[in-house]
Amino acid sequence: MNTSLADSVGTYEIAGKKIARLGFGTMRLTGLGIWGEPEDRAECVRVVRRAVELGVQLFDTANSYGPYISEEILREAIHPYPEDVLIATKAGLTRNGPDVIKQGDELVRLGPKAWPPVGRPEYLRQEALMSLRRLGLDQIDLFQLHRVDPKVPLEEQVGELKNLQDEGKIVAIGLSQVTVEQIEQARRIADIATVQNRYNVADRSSTDVLDHCTRHGIGFIPWAPVAAGRLARPGGPLDHIAAAHHSTSSNVALSWLLQRSDVVLPIPGTSKVAHLEENLAASRLRLSEAELAELDAAA
């Protein structure tokens, strides 16, 4: 294994594996609107293989990415998986089409309408079994409830994941886009290894969840980790800190996350090798206390 990434960003243990805290999200290994085949599948395969070469150990995917496409690309790229690689997948969101469509020359985002939640226990079980098949695994390291289905009691959704865990089909259980109350409700049923909520330097709506995870030693996987909005504008805080380090705004945003808490596990994603290498350069960037304070105050 290339240990330089783990040495730079530190490690976190999930499912008995110590992994580098900077991972890779596979959502972009798909077509427009996270739907269908990517424009260049061979490049996507190269991205995953290059990530392993550079020391990435956490690969986060989901049945709904494509759907199924990103799981299939992971298997094509690196199966049989290196022993120190952790595969995390999810179920609980279904798809009824792309979440971005073209209307003339413009792209229109459909948002949550394209991702209906389904948390019925029989569905979650079915999708876990199908993910095992697509990924070529006997056991999933980390299986996450992609969304809480408001039509199904949370106890039933987490309870089915606990059943799968007891049967040896999954090792660790995670949640996604949840509240502190839901985390504690779930923890009464099963050990919760990770929580995956939207969180970045510009969107800190899940600060209470991150703080809760930090206190209780639960891994926190921020999705959309490099979204920066107005903070990345020319002359803005991310821009001038990046310039001082001869870096990029995206890498400053990732470094801020890594320094925010030892339980944070960012998973920036891309479909291009060059962009992957650029993102992983964040591991070598260390922000000063003054820079961290400036970004903390900028939200």
* 3-state DSSP helix/strand/coil % of the chain, to nearest 5: 40, 15, 40
What is d(CA 252, CA 265) in angstroms, rounded to the nearest whole number? 15
Residue found by looking up tokens 């998986």 in the block: 81
Catalytic entry in 65, 68, 123, 199? 65
What is d(CA 199, CA 257) in angstroms, rounded to the nearest whole number? 9
Long-range contacts of 99-104 (CB under 8 A, 24+ apart): 99/33, 99/34, 99/35, 100/32, 100/33, 100/34, 101/33, 102/32
What is d(CA 105, CA 178) in angstroms, rounded to the nearest whole number? 36
Query: Is 81 known to be catalytic?
Result: no
Q: Report helix angle 41-53 to 273-280, nearest 10.
A: 30
DSSP 93-120: B--SS-SEEEETTEEEE-GGGG--B---
The one-character DSSP state at 169 is: S
Question: Whose CA is closest to 211, among 287, 268, 264?
Answer: 264
Residue found by looking up tokens 């999933």 in the block: 140
Q: Give the catalytic positions in this structure.
A: 65
